[in-house]
């Protein structure tokens, strides 16, 4: 007898699969690898954190015993609680940001599930169960190992291993649940009260923020300072259950006990609300061009000049980047990496805050490093397809061979990356070093970004987003040395050359002239290389692939319906 799954089970499985589905994962195997990769990425730093804190704890125990000051151990344990809770909340936030689009019901769910004879409670229940599965899976993966180790090492001292374990798990997992539910609520409210487009845009921003936080957590030595809510609430819960005798702990911990069920209830409510809204009014996102996108398109149009094909290409690239979340993710990831590198450089430098007020590499390179990594992210996003079958428009209307497509892509890259870099120059360099230096430095920043974009465009060989994702294309994890070398050449060296000539107009002009000369050379190389550009293949009927043919035979007399000979 064939066992038939219940609708609830089928829906639950489908919703769970949605968390890992995207256009760049071309098979289930790749999807599973991606999930395992992400969880490993988050579990390993947790283990590293645990080892670091445990060795510190052992040292602290010895010091406390030697000095007869047991309160030192309590203070250290409280710091450990903050670290574990922070890491749990940030890593859960990051994972949640990566599945941002699937947190609540969307138009596609409404269109597919709407006509089916399914009860609303079954659909919402399955969605909530899928969300819970994701949450439990990630929270346990990130926290259980560190929890057991923590309890084993710290609990043996006072013989309360189970209490230490309970404190760790409730604090960290409670924090993770709170973070997850809060993000579900934010996503749901954005859809319900603002627009689906605003909700989608917020996803990339959150990916950037959480990834920056995780990377900083991994790279930057732990800084002590005031702990803010909600981390302080869940760290207090951790400490309260563990048995801390600090008077403020129970009060703060009670906030966690209030916030946790509230966030869960909020998540359930917006899930119901989202379902209700999508089933009644399938959202059709309006597409008014946002201010930043308009500025970028104008800047790209300035770079492309009168070349209409180039302008079409740059507009296409910039609009896709503005509206397609799949393409935004690698940019957010790369930019977060840039932020982490900047943070490490700032934290590990010698000298105090006052020294940042003199022109130094660690300050001047900030906008260039960020711009460099944005370009790296852009280059990575280009290989991710969007609306693959719509690429016929480029095949039909193409005017290859032409350097116009390359010119458009190059212009889009410069227009996209230069804005954030100049903004950071204004926000970071100007307050620290003054407006004059910031304005002069803006020239170097613009040149460096243009050179990076020109160089990166040499590595592009077709109109972005119009080809199927080539499996295993991402090379950052294997060729990171090259990327770091690039950053050294693009961000570090120019700043080192710039500093001695900041007050020497002639020297500065020479530096700019050299930069322009590099740009001209890259321009020539780009136009030469553009001859190798190709159009996207016809996905419906590829000449080179007879297996791409699909024949539908409706009957013996239905006409010529041959099957390809394989």
Partner 1 sequence: MLKVQDLTKRYASITAIDHVSFEVRPGEVFGLLGPNGSGKSTTVKILMGLLEPSYGRVELDGRDALADLQAYKKLLGYVPEEPHLYTYLTGPEYLQLIGRLRSIPEALLNEKIDRFLELLGIYDDRYQTLSSYSKGMRQKILIAGAVLHNPRIVILDEAFSGLDVTASRVLKAFVRSLAAEGKMVVFSSHVLEVVEQVCSRVVILKDGHIVGHDSVENLRNTLKLPSLDAVFATLTDEENVEKRTNALIAAMHLQ
Where on the chain is the footprint of partner 1 (CB under 8 A)? 107, 284-288, 308-309, 311-312, 315-316, 319-320, 323-324, 386-387, 389-390, 392-400, 538, 540-541, 543, 546, 549, 551-552, 554-562, 564-565
Whole-number minimum distance, CB 288 to partner 1, in Å? 6
Nearer to partner 1, 27 or 286 (CB): 286
Distance between CA 245 and CA 225 in Å, rounded?
A: 20
Nearer to partner 1, 58 or 545 (CB): 545
Distance between CA 344 and CA 219 in Å, rounded?
A: 6
Contact between 239 and 174 (Cβ < 8 Å): no
Whole-number minimum distance, CB 543 to partner 1, in Å? 6
Distance between CA 442 and CA 487 in Å, rounded?
A: 18
Whole-number minimum distance, CB 296 to partner 1, in Å? 15
> Rounded to a whole number, what is the distance in angstroms from the first to the last CA of the chain?
36
Cβ contacts of 38 within 8 Å, gap of 6 or more: 95, 98
Cβ contacts of 402 within 8 Å, gap of 6 or more: 309, 530
Q: What angle in degrees, to the nearest 10, is found between the helix axes of 28-67 and 120-158?
A: 30
364 burial via Cβ count (<10 Å: 0-12, 13-18, 19+): buried
Nearer to partner 1, 88 or 539 (CB): 539
Cβ atoms within 10 A of the Cβ of 367, count? 31
Whole-number minimum distance, CB 458 to partner 1, in Å? 23
Whole-number minimum distance, CB 456 to partner 1, in Å? 23
Contact between 287 and 382 (Cβ < 8 Å): no
Nearer to partner 1, 168 or 323 (CB): 323
Nearer to partner 1, 52 or 527 (CB): 527
Distance between CA 237 and CA 166 in Å, rounded?
A: 10
Q: Which residues pair with 462 in a beta bridge?
A: 534
Distance between CA 84 and CA 267 in Å, rounded?
A: 24
Q: Rounded to whole angstroms, what are the CA distances from 92 to 31, 180, 214, 405?
A: 19, 7, 10, 40
Whole-number minimum distance, CB 25 to partner 1, in Å? 20
Whole-number minimum distance, CB 382 to partner 1, in Å? 15
419 burial via Cβ count (<10 Å: 0-12, 13-18, 19+): middle
Q: Which of 183, 218, 495 is nearest to 369 (CA)?
A: 495
Whole-number minimum distance, CB 400 to partner 1, in Å? 7
Nearer to partner 1, 396 or 513 (CB): 396
Nearer to partner 1, 66 or 306 (CB): 306
Whole-number minimum distance, CB 551 to partner 1, in Å? 6
Q: Rounded to whole angstroms, what are the CA distances from 558 to 177, 548, 550, 551?
A: 58, 21, 15, 11
Nearer to partner 1, 479 or 527 (CB): 527
Whole-number minimum distance, CB 197 to partner 1, in Å? 9
C-alpha neighbours within 13 Å on the C-beta side of residue 434? 7
Tokens of 34: 């991606």
Nearer to partner 1, 59 or 111 (CB): 111
Nearer to partner 1, 101 or 498 (CB): 101
Whole-number minimum distance, CB 331 to partner 1, in Å? 16
Region of residue 397 (phi > 0: left; psi between -120 and 50: alpha; otherwise: beta):
alpha
Nearer to partner 1, 357 or 389 (CB): 389
Q: Rounded to whole angstroms, what are the CA distances from 298 to 230, 248, 449, 465, 562?
A: 42, 56, 17, 21, 52
């Amino acid at each position: 007898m064939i066992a038939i799954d219940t609708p609830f089970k089928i829906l639950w499985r489908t919703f769970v699969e949605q968390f890992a589905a995207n256009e760049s994962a071309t098979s289930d195997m790749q999807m599973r690898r991606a999930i395992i990769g992400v969880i490993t990425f988050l579990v390993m730093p947790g283990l590293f954190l645990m080892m670091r804190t445990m060795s510190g704890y052992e040292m602290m125990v010895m010091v406390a015993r030697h000095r007869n000051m047991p309160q030192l151990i309590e203070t250290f344990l409280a710091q450990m609680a903050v670290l574990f809770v922070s890491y749990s909340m940030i890593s859960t936030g990051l994972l949640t940001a990566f599945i941002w689009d699937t947190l609540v019901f969307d138009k596609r769910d409404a269109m597919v599930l709407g006509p089916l004879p399914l009860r609303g409670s079954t659909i919402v229940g399955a969605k909530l169960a899928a969300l819970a599965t994701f949450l439990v899976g990630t929270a346990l993966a990130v926290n259980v190992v560190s929890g057991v180790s923590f309890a084993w090492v710290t609990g043996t001292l006072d013989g309360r291993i189970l209490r230490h374990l309970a404190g760790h798990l409730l604090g960290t997992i409670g924090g993770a649940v709170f973070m997850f539910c809060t993000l579900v609520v934010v996503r749901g409210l954005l859809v319900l009260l603002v627009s689906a487009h605003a909700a989608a845009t917020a996803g990339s921003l959150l990916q950037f923020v959480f990834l920056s936080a995780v990377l900083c957590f991994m790279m930057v030595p732990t800084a002590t300072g005031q702990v803010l809510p909600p981390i302080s609430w869940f760290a207090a819960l951790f400490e309260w259950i563990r048995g801390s005798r600090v008077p403020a702990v129970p009060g703060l911990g009670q906030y966690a006990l209030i916030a946790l069920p509230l966030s869960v209830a909020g998540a359930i409510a917006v899930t119901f609300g989202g379902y209700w809204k999508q089933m009644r009014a399938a959202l059709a996102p309006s597409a008014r061009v946002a201010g930043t996108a308009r500025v970028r398109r104008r800047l790209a149009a300035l770079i492309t000049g009168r070349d209409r094909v180039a302008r079409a290409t740059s507009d296409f690239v910039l609009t896709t980047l503005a509206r397609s979340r799949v393409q935004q993710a690698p940019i957010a990831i790369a930019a977060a990496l840039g932020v982490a590198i900047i943070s490490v450089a700032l934290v590990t430098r010698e000298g105090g805050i006052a020294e940042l007020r003199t022109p130094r590499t660690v300050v001047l390179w900030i906008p260039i490093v960020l711009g460099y990594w944005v370009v790296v992210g852009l280059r990575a996003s280009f290989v991710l397809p969007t609306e693959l079958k719509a690429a016929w428009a480029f095949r039909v209307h193409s005017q290859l061979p032409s350097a116009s497509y390359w010119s458009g892509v190059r212009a889009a890259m410069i227009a996209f990356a230069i804005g954030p870099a100049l903004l950071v120059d204004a926000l970071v360099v100007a307050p620290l070093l003054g407006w004059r230096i910031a304005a002069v430095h803006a020239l170097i920043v613009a040149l460096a970004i243009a050179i990076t974009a020109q160089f990166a465009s040499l590595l592009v060989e077709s109109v972005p987003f119009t080809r199927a994702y080539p499996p295993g294309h991402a090379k950052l994890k294997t060729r990171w040395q090259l990327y770091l070398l690039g950053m050294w050449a693009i961000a570090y060296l120019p700043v080192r050359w710039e500093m001695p000539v900041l007050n020497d107009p002639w020297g500065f002009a020479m530096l700019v002239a050299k930069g322009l000369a590099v740009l001209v050379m890259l321009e020539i190389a780009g136009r030469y290389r553009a001859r190798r550009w190709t159009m996207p293949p016809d996905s419906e009927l590829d000449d080179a692939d007879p297996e791409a043919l699909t024949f539908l035979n409706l009957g013996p007399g239905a006409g010529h319906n041959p099957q390809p000979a394989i």
